[in-house]
Structure 1
Amino acid sequence: MTVATSKQATPCGAWTSPITAAVVAAGAVPLAQPMPDGAAIGWLEGRTSEGGRMTLMVHDADGTRELTPAPFNVRSRVHEYGGGAYLLSSGGAWFSHHADNRLYRVENDGQPVAVTAADTGHRFADFVLDAGRSRLVAVREDHSLGATYPVNTLCAVGFDGAETVLIEGSDFYAAPRLSPDGRQLAWLCWELPHMPWEGTALWLGDVAADGAIVNRRLIAGGADEAICQPEWSPGGVLHFVSDRSGWWNLYRYAADVVDALCERWAEFAVPQWNFGGSQYAFRSEEQIVCAYIEMGVSHLGIVSTHDGSLTPLETPYEDIRDVKVSGDIVTLLGGAPTIAPELARIDLAGAPLEVLAHSIPQLPATSYLAVPLAISYPSANGRTAYAFYYAPANPDYAPLPDELPPLIVIGHGGPTSMATSTLKLSTQYWTSRGFAVLDVNYGGSTGFGREYRNLLQHQWGVVDVEDCVAGARHLAAIGAVDPERLLIRGSSAGGLTVLSALAFHDVFKAGASYYGVSDLAGLDADSHKFESRYNAYLTAPPERAQAVYRERSPIHHSDKLRSPMIFFQGLDDKVVPPQQSESMVDALRAQKLPVAYLTLEGEGHGFRKADSVVRTLEAELYFYLRVFGIAVPADLPAIEIENLDV
């Protein structure tokens, strides 16, 4: 006989959970950039026990093996964010080694051998094989010239290591793609001050007998059109993604004409922060397998090249990236509310889905996992904002009678990024303890079309904050959360949202800032070439920048803070130096407001040590419990909170 059990009524926030800070700190194994090679598939996999080294894995009929042994770290530093760090071919690979930025070749089960010369100051990414000319074509970034910023070009790298510049003159290049017959090369380029999701150009050139690129012509794009992922069909028709309609949709170029292939209020691309992204690939001349995003949720489908019709494919995933196809086999990175990111192999001929690699091998029981609800709600100036709402979830506990849960609002980083519903243990840490969480896709986020993405233009620190504030108010108004226990947390750019929300609004009762930006002017001094003019887009053009920086930087309005705060700061952080946090801490001290400040030796911009993650998560929980007067578990380490009892 089964004995019925009931949940224990316990104050929200005081629930115990198997999703401990140590479980969160163990983290997920990074998985990136799957790439087919005939019947084999390669991908990059992180090694947290080896300082985050990225290694190249290959799966084929003989099983799974590592192709790049330690100490080789398959990672590119082009544009600083990298991506596109390897090319798999004929059982071996070419790859960029992070330690010296040289290009290496590794044969099946052999040792990597350097291809390019040492100490050139050159970095490489986004490789395409030009087998007929015994070379690769790649993006090259030259740091050897002593200029303020490096010089970016498209470069041919011979199998013997010889380098030849093919295309130059633009500030940035990406996605060189050689036609199937080797006679044409397509590529993307863009100029400062634009980011690639603002305006890019798609070019096409003929490959001459000596390998030079001639007869170059502009196909699409410009300052107000963002082009992504040019690809050739098996029959040699050039395809690409453009947001000229307001949505990143599929187009093709044939007979000197650009045609819309599949028009839909959906995004068939994501911002090009990294090289090598792939949201679609060809199954055949007649069919394209693609991932598309609607209302922040990803789907997989097949587009017919005959009539542009889109046929959805059923998968367990709601976040799909890096789609690759070889015959009937689709490989992708997928995640969902109860699925951490994983590398999946889907046979379109009907065989069961196969998972080749898990980012988190051992997941908590699903009864402890909160499944988010995608919501929309009204925000400032008549806007609609979007978010994922997580109600508390724990099979052992329930709120006290008539108790509403406290809410933690999270604004993602980027800020041109997006919150997804993929399982994150860092979110489940809170929901399994009785907190509700709102993960906000504020105006400026990806996944909702160009108009929504452009809402953040010159409005960073305004629109993002307004949408976070509106989300908290909305949930309180409908009775989902306790209006007297609204919290906000964020890191880096998200930290700016936290600080601005607390300085300029009176909704949140407390906040947590992880190495948060409090002084916008400081970002310009530390910017690299890729992002050197990003602040001009997000905040103000140069002629107005200083006035706007002062108006919006919380560091100049710290006297307006009225709520308790906890700050976390790496002492080696060069992007957001400790002074930015310390000035805010001093301001709260001066006003006798509750404040806690935790510094971490040996940590920079982002905490990488497991003990740092444990310490900060537990400190944040302790802080919230004390601020709201909830009993603190005996095993939760205490921290100093100044002025709490004043």
Structure 2
Amino acid sequence: MTVTAPTATPYGAWPSPVDAATAAAHDGSPEYVGVVGDEVWWTAPRPAEEGRRALVRRRADGTEDSPLPPPWNVRSRVIEYGGTPWAGAIVDDSPLIVFVHHGDQRLHVFRPDRPDIPPRPLTPLSAVGGGLRWADLTLHPERGEVWAVLEEFTGEGPSDCRRLPAAVPLDGSAAEDRGAVRELAPAAQRFVTGPRLSPDGRRAAWLAWDHPLMPWDGTELRVADVTADGLLGPARTLIGGPEESVAQVEWAPDGTLLAATDRTGWWNLHRVDPATGEAVNLCPRDEEFGNALWKLGHRWFRPLDNGLVAVLHGVGALRLALLDPASGELTEAGGPWTEWNPSLAVVGTRVVGVAASARTSYEIVELDAATGRTRVIGSAHHDTVDPAYLPEAADRVFTGPGGREVHAHVYPPRNPAATGDGPAPYVVWAHGGPTSRAAMVLDLEIAYFTSRGIGVAEVNYGGSTGYGRAYRNRLREQWGVVDVEDCAAVAQGLVAEGAADPARLAVRGGSAGGWTSAAALTTSSTYACGTVIYPILDLTSWTSAGGETHDFESRYLESLIGPFEEVPERYRDRSPVNLADRITVPFLLLQGLDDVICPPVQCERLLAAVAGRGIPHAYLSFAGESHGFRRLDTMVACLEAELSLYGQVFGFAPQGVPLLELTT
């Protein structure tokens, strides 16, 4: 076989089979996996179907289908980031499924084996504010109910709401009657997770926390008796507090509680006595067995009937293992998967999860705990493009200011048909959150750039999850400082080792990553341009007092920046809208017009501040998009615009991409 030598081609202009449509079509991952009888169900992205989330059913014979056609969209808006939006059980010998439809946020019920009967609503609409919303569903057919977290708006403001555990009858009697929804407990805390019933049905456990805490700062594990009328009695706090984050709670088969708590500085798995609150660490390690609770219903561990516990654990990336609580021994699951989503389900000896690797997309993976065998059972990865065009990812640690460690994933340019001359252009990606983490998995958006000769470095800057509480706490009152410094340290480290061209560096990020990108453009001379996506730009307005964000994060800045009443100047002096005169390089601004988390008005202020200053820039806004782009056409437009920006700044001509018009 003749092997063709790669052709010397300018970086950025390498011919690539990874076009924007291919990359966008494979954006997103399966989520919220669950077991209904012998079947496995999950939600999956459908970018080409206006970005909806489809409900996927894998039958016992291995066949897959989506029983809910468009426009059904299984997605919750509780705390805007949502949570488990469906639940199912076998009732009268066939599946019964309850789900949240994104369009109206009502609970609906349907029988997938009766396609002649359409889904019917279980909950009413509300004309007040954001209405009634539901998440973290648990089906209790023996009670004739589905239990969930109810988020109910009481006014038109983003924080005019209450949250509490509630029960909805399955007979449809609450479909037009708010009074038929049973409130299981008072709305005593600002935020709660869905209640978990004990094996004997006599008690329930859940997590709760209040402003200004975020769930990774401090939560409480609460337990209450179930009364004779099916309500939750007075609740007791077993563990947790302002400096202890309990990320998940589940009942073990023996009636004790299992909880992932970071009281040791790491989210370790503990057995908690429901009577006394005594907590015993089942596997003491400087590793995480949990993570940041951004969505209600995330599960990093699940107990099995045989006494073992399926756990996700590790430093940085989490991997699947079986924990023997008696000995503390971990038995690792086999297979090539290096990243697992917090979406574990169990039935019998089967553990089902969502996993990926640097060379494979997210798949539905099953572990048989009895045999140790793992296999892909759904959403199987298929090579969309020749793997030779995919980057060779590397998990790296760089040195930041003061000698601190900075974690990053580096994706050098790679293309079998082309080669460049000298150091390559690089884009530094700052993840959202900021209390989150970039996973090292196959991402065709990254390959879209690397296959063209542009390297990508994803930075898990100080404040990221996966590396213990001390690493997370680096960002306390230092947002806009530590994250910016760490991203620059990675860029400069790549320059120092000869991989990156110091004159062709860019920064890019969305949401909190958009903040970091914008802050970097106003405070750092490292980058030649930047891409800022649905960002936070005005700290003073992005608070509960300012009213320009949703309730969940409305007091997040008290830990990231400091209490506003004590350090108002810090809010002013770090906001990119107030530092626009320091922006000296071109930038691209991308924004969804329906975004209530980071609203368009923040972008409009920045644009007004840079208008007429001679800084080349472009602003693309998208109707129908909220926080996180989901539609195929939107993502295609964004990728092509971003590549065009880099071409104009870095000096190459991308092929087949519309020219992005930059204004000054």
**SS of equivalent residue, structure 2 residue 242:** coil
Cα distance in 2 for partners of 1:85, 1:406 equals 41
1:159 aligned residue: 170
Matched to 2:327, the amino acid is D
Q: How many residues align?
A: 636
Alpha-carbon contact 2:334-2:372 (below 8 Å) kept: no
Cα distance in 2 for partners of 1:179, 1:26 equals 42
Where do 1:451-530 residues align within 5 Å? 451-524=470-543, 525-530=547-552
Cα distance in 2 for partners of 1:379, 1:597 equals 32
1:136-185 deviation digits (Å, cap 9, x = unpaired):
33211222467852111112333344322222211111031101111111
Alpha-carbon contact 2:434-2:512 (below 8 Å) kept: yes
Matched to 1:159, the amino acid is L
Where do 1:279-298 residues align within 5 Å? 279-294=300-315, 296-298=316-318
1:302 aligned residue: 322
Cα distance in 2 for partners of 1:624, 1:503 equals 19
Within the candidate set 93, 99, 116, 2:97 is matched to 93
**SS of equivalent residue, structure 2 residue 361:** strand
Measured on the aligned residues, the alpha-carbon RMSD in Å equals 2.4
Cα distance in 2 for partners of 1:560, 1:28 equals 34
Greater shift after overlay, 335-344 or 600-609?
600-609
Cα distance in 2 for partners of 1:634, 1:127 equals 48
1:474-519 deviation digits (Å, cap 9, x = unpaired):
1111222222222212223222212221221212222222343332
Where do 1:212-611 residues align within 5 Å? 212-214=231-233, 216-254=235-273, 256=276, 257-294=278-315, 296-321=316-341, 322-348=343-369, 349=371, 351=373, 353-358=375-380, 362-400=383-421, 403-524=422-543, 525-570=547-592, 576=598, 580-581=602-603, 584=606, 590-593=612-615, 595-600=616-621, 602=623, 604-605=625-626, 606-611=628-633
**SS of equivalent residue, structure 1 residue 286:** coil
Alpha-carbon contact 2:51-2:632 (below 8 Å) kept: no
2:123 aligned residue: 116
Cα distance in 2 for partners of 1:140, 1:573 equals 22
| CA distance 1:367–1:234, shift in 2 (3 Å) | same
Matched to 1:613, the amino acid is M
2:660 aligned residue: 639
Greater shift after overlay, 171-180 or 574-583?
574-583
- CA shift, 1:271, in A, is 1.3
- CA shift, 1:389, in A, is 0.7
- CA shift, 1:618, in A, is 2.4
- CA shift, 1:639, in A, is 3.2
Greater shift after overlay, 414-423 or 250-259?
250-259
1:377-403 deviation digits (Å, cap 9, x = unpaired):
111233211110111111111122xx1
| CA distance 1:327–1:134, shift in 2 (3 Å) | same
| CA distance 1:94–1:614, shift in 2 (3 Å) | closer
TM-score of the superposition, structure 2-length normalised?
0.90
- CA shift, 1:280, in A, is 1.1
| CA distance 1:307–1:144, shift in 2 (3 Å) | same
Cα distance in 2 for partners of 1:405, 1:336 equals 25
Cα distance in 1 for partners of 2:283, 2:22 equals 43
Matched to 2:453, the amino acid is G
1:99-151 deviation digits (Å, cap 9, x = unpaired):
33332222242332333344484322222344443333321122246785211
Cα distance in 1 for partners of 2:554, 2:374 equals 47
| CA distance 1:186–1:641, shift in 2 (3 Å) | closer
2:177 aligned residue: none
1:526-585 deviation digits (Å, cap 9, x = unpaired):
222211211222212021353112110122222222333333445666655556445555
Structure 2: state its 5+ residue gaps: 175-179
Alpha-carbon contact 2:185-2:233 (below 8 Å) kept: no
| CA distance 1:65–1:225, shift in 2 (3 Å) | same
TM-score of the superposition, structure 1-length normalised?
0.92
Cα distance in 2 for partners of 1:92, 1:17 equals 46
Alpha-carbon contact 1:252-1:258 (below 8 Å) kept: yes
Alpha-carbon contact 1:337-1:422 (below 8 Å) kept: yes
1:149 aligned residue: 160
Cα distance in 2 for partners of 1:270, 1:149 equals 28
| CA distance 1:471–1:287, shift in 2 (3 Å) | same
Cα distance in 2 for partners of 1:587, 1:528 equals 25
